[in-house]
C-alpha cells in the first residue's frame, strides 16, 4: 500500500524527465511526438504547437494510432508534470523506448515564454457532431476545421447531386453551392433523395437547401436557381470554390464545367450514370489561363489557410496534373448518334452509389488525403456488382489543357436530347 505521493515519487524515479528548455531543444532538433495528456478544456486553453491531444484516460487505447513505432521518441506533458509522469510510465510498459516527461508541465513551458497554440475552434456541439471524424487520425480536429472551411459547388441537385449534397453536408463542408434550374417533379423521387413528396413543384435548389439545413445547420447553402451557361459560369465560379462536383445531365453543361474548371484551376469530381452503369473520375488538370498561358494551379488557387494547413504527406493540389474531360473525349457526340431520351432510364439506387463515390472524392480533395481518382476512370456495373477501372492520360494535344490550346473561350453546344451540336 502506498500513498499518492509515494507512488508519484516511485514513478518519477523510473522514468526520464526533462525541463522546458531541454524539451524545447528536443522538439526543435528532432521529430518527437509531442503528446498532451490533459483534459479537453485544458487543451482548448492552449497547448504546445504540433502537439497531439490524447487525454490520459484514453492513452492506452489511442496511442497506437498516434505512434505505432515503438522506437519513435515521445515528449509527454500535462499541466504540472505529474499526470505526464504516470503517462510516461504507461508508455514504457507499452514498449515505447524513448519517452520523456516534461517536468513542470505546460505551466513551466508558458513561464519560459515558449510558443503556444490556442484552441482551434471546434466547440462542444461540433465536437459531438463530428466525433466520428475526430477519431480518424487522417481527419481529426484539423481536418474537420478544414472541411468546415471548404467550399464545394454541386452542378445539379438531381440523382447524383442528392447523395453527394447530403453526405457533404453531413460531413460538415462549410459552404455548398447548388446550381439547378429545375423544379421537383414526381419522376424525380424514385432516386433524388434530397427532395420529397411534399416539395413537388418547388425549385430543386430550395428543396435541397431545406433538407441540407435540417440535416446540418453548420452548412451554408448557396443556391443558384439557374442553368449553367456561358453567360453565368464566370459569375458562379467567382464565388471561390475548392471543388466542383459534376452531376449534370447533358453534354453542353459538362463541357462548360470542364473548360471553366481548367481556366479556374478547380478540380472536378465527375460522375455519370445510365441504366445500370455509372462512371466516376476526378479531373484535376493543370490550370491554364484563358489566353493560353500556363499557370500553376497551386499559385492560382493558393490561399493563406491552404498553404499553412496542408499536411506534408497529402497528395492534394500539389499532385501531378491529370487529364481533363476533353483529354478523355475531345468533343461531344453529334445529336443524331446520341441515344434518344426515351431509351434512357436508371436504376434508382445507382446514382446513390455513384453520387456517394463523388462525395468521397470531394471530401478527400477538401481534406487533401488519400489517392484521388485522378487519371483513373472507375466503372461500376450494378447488374454484375462489378467495378472496373481504365486509365485516362493527359493529352498533350488537348484543345483546352494541352500544350497549345485551341479552345480559349466558352462554347455553347446546343442540346438535342442527350446529344449536342456546336452552335454555329
Q: Of these, 346, 357, 374, 407, which contacts another protein (CB under 8 A)?
A: 346
Q: Where does this chain touch another protein (CB under 8 A) — which range of 14-22, 32-40, 94-102, 387-395?
A: 387-395
Q: Is 388 in the site for another protein (CB under 8 A)?
A: yes
Sign of CA dihedral 411, 415, 419, 420: negative
Instruction: Select 109 or 241, whichever has its Cβ closest to another protein.
Output: 241
For residue 44, the minimal CB distance to another protein (Å) is 43
CA distance 118 to 13: 33
Number of residues that bind another protein (CB under 8 A): 48
CA distance 366 to 169: 13
Instruction: Select 296 or 343, whichever has its Cβ closest to another protein.
Output: 343
Cell 446540418 maps to which residue? 216
β-strand pairing of 33-36 with 74-77? parallel
Looking at residues 223 to 262 of the shown chain, list those that interact with another protein (rule: CB under 8 A).
Answer: 246-251, 254
The C-alpha cell that represents 129 in the structure block:
457532431
The C-alpha cell that represents 279 in the structure block:
462512371
Q: Where does this chain touch another protein (CB under 8 A) — which range of 19-27, 52-60, 224-232, 335-343?
A: 335-343
CB neighbour class for 325 (10 Å; exposed up to 12, middle 13-18, buried from 19): buried
Q: Where does this chain touch another protein (CB under 8 A) — which range of 4-12, 41-49, 152-160, 220-228?
A: 152-160
CB neighbour class for 337 (10 Å; exposed up to 12, middle 13-18, buried from 19): exposed
Looking at residues 163 to 192 of the shown chain, list those that interact with another protein (rule: CB under 8 A).
Answer: 180, 188, 192
Looking at residues 189 to 218 of the shown chain, list those that interact with another protein (rule: CB under 8 A).
Answer: 192
The gap from C-alpha 51 to its chain's centroid, in whole angstroms, comes to 23
Residues written for the chain: 424
β-strand pairing of 277-283 with 376-381? antiparallel
Q: Where does this chain touch another protein (CB under 8 A) — which range of 142-150, 208-216, 221-229, 375-383?
A: 375-383
Looking at residues 36 to 75 of the shown chain, list those that interact with another protein (rule: CB under 8 A).
Answer: none
Q: State the residues that interact with another protein by CB under 8 A.
A: 156-161, 180, 188, 192, 246-251, 254, 271-277, 279, 328-333, 337, 339, 341, 343-344, 346, 351, 377, 379, 383, 388-393, 395, 418
Amino acid at each position: 500500500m502506498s500513498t499518492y505521493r509515494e507512488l508519484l515519487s516511485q514513478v518519477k524515479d523510473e522514468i526520464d524527465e526533462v525541463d522546458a528548455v531541454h524539451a524545447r531543444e528536443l522538439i526543435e532538433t528532432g521529430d518527437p511526438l509531442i503528446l498532451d495528456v490533459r483534459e479537453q478544456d485544458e487543451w482548448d486553453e492552449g497547448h504546445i504547437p504540433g502537439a497531439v491531444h490524447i487525454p490520459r484516460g484514453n492513452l492506452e487505447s489511442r496511442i497506437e494510432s498516434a505512434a505505432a513505432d515503438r522506437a519513435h521518441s515521445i515528449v509527454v506533458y500535462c499541466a504540472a508534470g505529474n499526470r505526464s509522469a504516470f503517462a510516461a510510465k504507461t508508455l514504457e510498459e507499452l514498449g515505447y523506448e524513448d519517452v520523456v516527461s516534461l517536468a513542470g508541465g505546460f505551466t513551466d513551458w508558458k513561464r519560459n515564454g515558449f510558443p503556444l497554440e490556442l484552441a482551434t475552434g471546434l466547440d462542444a456541439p461540433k465536437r459531438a457532431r463530428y466525433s466520428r471524424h475526430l477519431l480518424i487520425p487522417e481527419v481529426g480536429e484539423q481536418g474537420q476545421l478544414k472541411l468546415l472551411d471548404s467550399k464545394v459547388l454541386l452542378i445539379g441537385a438531381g440523382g447524383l447531386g442528392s447523395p453527394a449534397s447530403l453526405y457533404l453536408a453531413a460531413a460538415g463542408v462549410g459552404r455548398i453551392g447548388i446550381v439547378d434550374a429545375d423544379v421537383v417533379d414526381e419522376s424525380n423521387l424514385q432516386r433524388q433523395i434530397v427532395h420529397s413528396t411534399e416539395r413537388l413543384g418547388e425549385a430543386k435548389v430550395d428543396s435541397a437547401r431545406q433538407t441540407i439545413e435540417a440535416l446540418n445547420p453548420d452548412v451554408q447553402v448557396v443556391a443558384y436557381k439557374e442553368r449553367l451557361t456561358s453567360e453565368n459560369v464566370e459569375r458562379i465560379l467567382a464565388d471561390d470554390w475548392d471543388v466542383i462536383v459534376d452531376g449534370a445531365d447533358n453534354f453542353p453543361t459538362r463541357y462548360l464545367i470542364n473548360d471553366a474548371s481548367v481556366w479556374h484551376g478547380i478540380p472536378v469530381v465527375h460522375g455519370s450514370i445510365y441504366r445500370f452503369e455509372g462512371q466516376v473520375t476526378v479531373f484535376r488538370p493543370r490550370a491554364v489561363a484563358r489566353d493560353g498561358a500556363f499557370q500553376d494551379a497551386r499559385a492560382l488557387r493558393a490561399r493563406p489557410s491552404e498553404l499553412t494547413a496542408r499536411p506534408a504527406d497529402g497528395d492534394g493540389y500539389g499532385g501531378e496534373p491529370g487529364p481533363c474531360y476533353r483529354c478523355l473525349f475531345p468533343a461531344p457526340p453529334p445529336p443524331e448518334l446520341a441515344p434518344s431520351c426515351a431509351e434512357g432510364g436508371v436504376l434508382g439506387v445507382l446514382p446513390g452509389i455513384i453520387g456517394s463515390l463523388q462525395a468521397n472524392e470531394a471530401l478527400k480533395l477538401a481534406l487533401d488525403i488519400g489517392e484521388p481518382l485522378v487519371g483513373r476512370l472507375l466503372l461500376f456495373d450494378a447488374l454484375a456488382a462489378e467495378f472496373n477501372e481504365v486509365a485516362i492520360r493527359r493529352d498533350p494535344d488537348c484543345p483546352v489543357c494541352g500544350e497549345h490550346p485551341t479552345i480559349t473561350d466558352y462554347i455553347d453546344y446546343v442540346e438535342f436530347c442527350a446529344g449536342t451540336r456546336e452552335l454555329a
